[in-house]
A and B are shown apart, each in its own frame.
Chain A
Amino acid sequence: MSDFKQRVGETAGPYREEISVERLRDFGAAVGATIDAGFEGDSVPTFATVFRRGEFDLFSKLGVPLSRILHAEQEYEYEAGIRAGMTVSYESRLARYNEKRGSSGALSFMTFETEVNDAASGERVLTSRTTIVVKGGME
């Protein structure tokens, strides 16, 4: 197992972002979702994908080869929920690292966990777990 196991726990952030109702509606239009007035945040649960700066910064820090990665899995756990007009603060960390050797070669799996909080109250809005696979491994 490579050195990347030792880098589990490395973090990036925090970042702040304001969530406008326009941005939620634009996202809804792009994915064909029905937006419920007053519940715009609940109408597009996968809007959480926009809170990705931490992941991108960790890719840089870890030397993840962008041309060899695929998005393998995505998970969201919702707490307080996204609300139009709120400002969120979020931080990401490398939560898991695994290697596999298969018939098609080495594969590295990395899971990034992002905690998104209401910047005003500190309350948890959602937790995101993004798993990517690096074809050919990280070496």
Chain B
Amino acid sequence: MSTAIEKGMAVEFVEIARISRDQLRAYAQASGDPNPIHLDDEIARKMGLPGVIAHGMLTAAFIAERGRRFLKDQLSASDGWRMKRFNARFKAMTFPDDVISVGGEVKEAGDGKIVLDLQARNQRGEVTTAGAVTFTC
């Protein structure tokens, strides 16, 4: 199966979200995560944090979505391609008002398999989450 995706191709960094407390509440609810360090500044401070922090898995979701979007944009027919593997390593914390972008590069492409190396970065250019998504068809 031929693809328009080649190894080494860049996955452009796209701004995904400016983190808000509302989003953290919505994500806590939707993901069933009651941990107050994402919701209550006072409790977060008692745990030694400057205030609430975003769920690492929220940035992981941004990475997964960026990967899916890239595939759809590059392939005229992305049917038949499914995510086979997802991986994320949490490197730095994310706070309300941080602006998260996701991008990276195509690590592998061919033989019915596409692997993207992706990072979530904040507005200071720091990598908060490093991940990889594998699609197979």
Mutual binders A and B: yes
In the bound complex, residues from chain A placing their C-beta under 8 Å from that of B68 are 33-34, 43, 45
Q: Which of A11-30 contact B (CB under 8 A)?
A: 23, 26-27, 29-30
B95 contacts chain A at the CB level, 8 A cutoff: no
Q: Which of A80-100 contact B (CB under 8 A)?
A: 81
Q: Which of B70-119 contact A (CB under 8 A)?
A: 82-90
Among B23, B30, B32, B62, find the residue whose CB has the most chain A CB atoms closer than 10 A.
B30
- Is the CB–CB distance between A73 and B88 below 8 Å? yes
Q: A20-59: contact bitstring with B at CB < 8 Å (1 yes, 0 no)?
A: 0001001101111110000000111110011010000000
- A73→B129 CA distance, assembly (Å): 9
Of the listed stretches A64-72, A105-113, A114-122, chain B binds A64-72
B31 contacts chain A at the CB level, 8 A cutoff: yes
- Is the CB–CB distance between B47 and A67 below 8 Å? yes
Total A residues in contact with B, Cβ cutoff 8 Å: 28
- Is the CB–CB distance between B85 and A78 below 8 Å? yes
Q: How far is the CB of B42 from chain A (nearest CB, A)?
A: 14
- Is the CB–CB distance between A46 and B89 below 8 Å? no
Query: B87 — nearest CB in chain A belongs to which residue?
Result: A75
In the bound complex, residues from chain B placing their C-beta under 8 Å from that of A23 are 30
- A34→B89 CA distance, assembly (Å): 23
In the bound complex, residues from chain B placing their C-beta under 8 Å from that of A71 are 56-57, 90
- A46→B120 CA distance, assembly (Å): 15
In the bound complex, residues from chain A placing their C-beta under 8 Å from that of B11 are none
Query: B48 — nearest CB in chain A belongs to which residue?
Result: A67
CB within 8 Å for A46 and B86 given contacts A32-B65, A33-B65, A34-B65: yes
Query: B24 — nearest CB in chain A belongs to which residue?
Result: A30
CB within 8 Å for A74 and B84 given contacts A32-B17, A50-B31: no
A77 contacts chain B at the CB level, 8 A cutoff: yes
Q: How far is the CB of B135 from chain A (nearest CB, A)?
A: 10
Listed in ascending order, the chain B residues whose CB lies under 8 Å from chain A are 16-17, 23, 26-27, 29-33, 47, 56-58, 60-62, 64-65, 68-69, 82-90, 133
